[in-house]
Amino acid sequence: MKRIAIFPGSFDPITIGHQSIVLRSLPLFDEVIIAIGDNTQKKCMFPIEKRKQWIEKTFEGIEKVKVDVYNMLTVDYCKQKNAKYIIRGLRNSIDFQYEQNIALINTEICPEIETIFLLTEPQYTSINSSFIREIMNFGGDVKRFLPENIRMDF
């Protein structure tokens, strides 16, 4: 059976931290679906179509990576896609505490789906999308935090 994993998130925008997690997860799975949660409760800076395009461009030519948008419980989306794994990245203990709760709830709802945590590489620990948005709001240069393929858009 194909080992399919979902990497869910907002990707507002995708960063080199996200990119690294996806690339490192590839040897573990047959297919990794990067799934953008279309959550109306969460105000995003960039439109969902743009976020999707940037992710597609980042992983252009990598067959195993698919990009999609979803609007339902993550575990329900996993079932729809026949995915048994959820990938999440961990930067620090704050991420851990937050992620632990979500993973436990997901296990409660759907025990057959495993959450797999990958620790960030040390050089990406401080990179997060909200900090990139903040720098952009004040006109700063964010290129170095973004995947090479999409830097020309910023």
Written as one letter, the residue type at 79 is: K
Which of the residues 63 through 92 are near ligand ADP (CB under 6 A)?
Answer: 88-89, 91
21 is an interface residue for ligand ADP by CB under 6 A: yes
Contact 5, 31 (CB under 8 A): yes
Binder to ligand ADP among 10, 19, 58, 74 (CB under 6 A)?
A: 10
Read off the tokens for 55.
């992710």
Alpha-carbon distances of 95 from 70, 76, 119, 129, 151, rounded to whole Å? 22, 23, 10, 14, 27
Residue type for position 101:
N
Q: Per CB under 6 A, which region of 14-22, 24-32, 43-51, 70-78 contacts ligand ADP?
A: 14-22
Q: Which is nearer to ligand ADP, 74 or 84 (CB)?
A: 74
Cβ nearer to ligand ADP, comparing 128 with 149? 128
Closest CA to 121 of 38, 19, 33, 36: 19
Active site residues: 18, 42, 91, 129
Residues that bind ligand ADP (CB under 6 A): 9-11, 15, 17-18, 21, 88-89, 91, 95, 120, 124, 127-129
